[in-house]
Amino acid sequence: MSSTIERTDVVIVGAGFTGLSAALELKRAGIDFLVLEARDRVGGRAEARPNGLGELIDSGGQFLCQDMPELMALAKARGKTFVETYIEGEFITHPWMSAEEAERTYQVAMAIRERMNRIEPDDASIAGLTVATWLERQKDTADAKAAFRSMIEGLWCLALDKVPLWYLIDNDRRITNEVFELQYFLRETMQSLADDLAGDLAGRLRLGEAATRIERGPRGVRVISARGVIEARSALLALPPATAAKLDFAPALPAELAKALSVWESGSVIKILVRYASPFWRERDLCGMVMWRDQAGLFACDASTDADHAALIVFVGGPLALRWHPLDETALRAEVTARLVEALGPQAADILDFSARDWTHDRWSGGAYSDLIVDVTARDAERTILAGAPPVYIAASEVSPSFPGYVEGAIVAGRIAAGKIQSAIATSASGS
C-alpha cells in the first residue's frame, strides 16, 4: 500500500445517487470533500451499457414518475428527454385470463396491499410475522394472492417468507406515488444523469478506488484504500446497508450499529432488454405489459423509445432470479423467449437483440433494486443506521424517508446526510 496521506473535510464512500447528491450539497456549503467509488463509473444501481446493436440502454435503475419531485426536478434541470412509457391497450396475465377477470384479480391484489398498509407497523398482533405468513391467513382467492405475491416479489425482489410484515408496511407507506411508477424513462439513460452530477464535482471524485477500512479516532477518521490513506473530519458511507457492513472498521462499530447493518439482504433481479424490429404487440391492441401468474416476480413492459426502436423490458425478481441466476446467456434467452411466446405469440421469438444484466450477488451493490430487512425483530435498525457512529455517517436509499429503494430516495437520503455533516462541522467549528 502507498504511504500517501491526504487530508480533506469529508470522505464520501460510494458515487451512486446518494453519494453524488451529498457531495453536491457539501460543495454548495463550501465544505471540502473527496468521493471514492469502487466501480469504474458513477450511478451505483443506475447503469447504462451498449446492447448488441450499439444502442446505450439502461441496464439498471431506469424509471421515474411525476410524483418523484427531486428526481423529476433534477432530470428537467439537466435537460433530459422524458420518454413516456407506452401503456395503451390490454394488459396480459399469463396463464391467460379474460380482461375482466384479470382486472378483477389485479384490483383484489391491490386491495390486499391496501389492507396490509392499514395495519400499524408496531401493531403487537403482527410481531414476528413475515409477509408470507400473513398472506396465508387472508381469505382472498388463490389467484388474487398469487397476483399479490408476484407483485411484491417483483417489486422488492425477495421471497415473501424472508420479509417481516411490519417492515414491508413501513417501507411501502413511504412509496407515495399515485401515478404509474413506470411513467417515464430518460432517452439519455438514468446513468447519464449521474454522470452530469459527477461532472460538477471538479476533480473530487475518484473511480476504481474501493475503500477497504474505516478507522475512527479522536480527531476524525482515516479512510484506507489501495491508493493510500485519507484523513478527514468525517466519513459518509453512501452504500447499501449490506455493502457497508462488509467494510473493515477499527475500532469495531458499536455493537448496536453493527447489528443494524447485519440484518439486511440484497434483492435479486435480472433485467433484460429485448429489442424487436417493430412493437408488434401494439398492432393487437396490447400495451406490452405482461404479468406471469405461474412465475412470481416475472414482469414485462414496453420500453420502446419510438416505433423504430421497439423493445420490451423483462424483469425477473426475487426467488425466480435466484433460480435463473446460474443459467448461461443461451439458456436464459431460451427461458425468457419461451415465456414471451406463450404470452404474446410467435412474433415474440423474432428478437433483434437480447441484453441481460444480472444484478444478483453484484460485487459492489449486493443486488438490486434494494436491500431489505430480513430480521423480524430488527425494529430499530433504520433508526440506528441513521444515527451512525459520528464522525462516521451512513446514508442509503434504503433508509430514506421517501421512496426507499428508488433513485428519488437516494437523492433525498444524500441531501439529508450532507445536512447532518454540515451541522456537525458548524457545531465543532463554533465550539473550537
Q: Report the binding-site residues for substrate.
A: 315
Contacts of 51 (CB under 8 A, 6+ apart): 57, 273, 275, 353, 355
Q: In terms of Cα–Cα distance, which of 166, 175, 93, 231 is closest to 381?
A: 166
145 touches 115 (CB < 8 A): no
Q: Report the binding-site residues.
A: 18, 37-38, 315, 398
17 touches 46 (CB < 8 A): yes
312 touches 300 (CB < 8 A): yes
DSSP letter (8 states) at residue 347? G
147 touches 105 (CB < 8 A): yes
Q: Report the binding-site residues for FAD.
A: 18, 37-38, 398
CB atoms within 10 A of CB 90: 15
391 touches 233 (CB < 8 A): yes
Q: In terms of Cα–Cα distance, which of 147, 238, 241, 157 is closest to 194?
A: 238
Q: In terms of Cα–Cα distance, which of 238, 314, 181, 227 is closest to 42?
A: 238
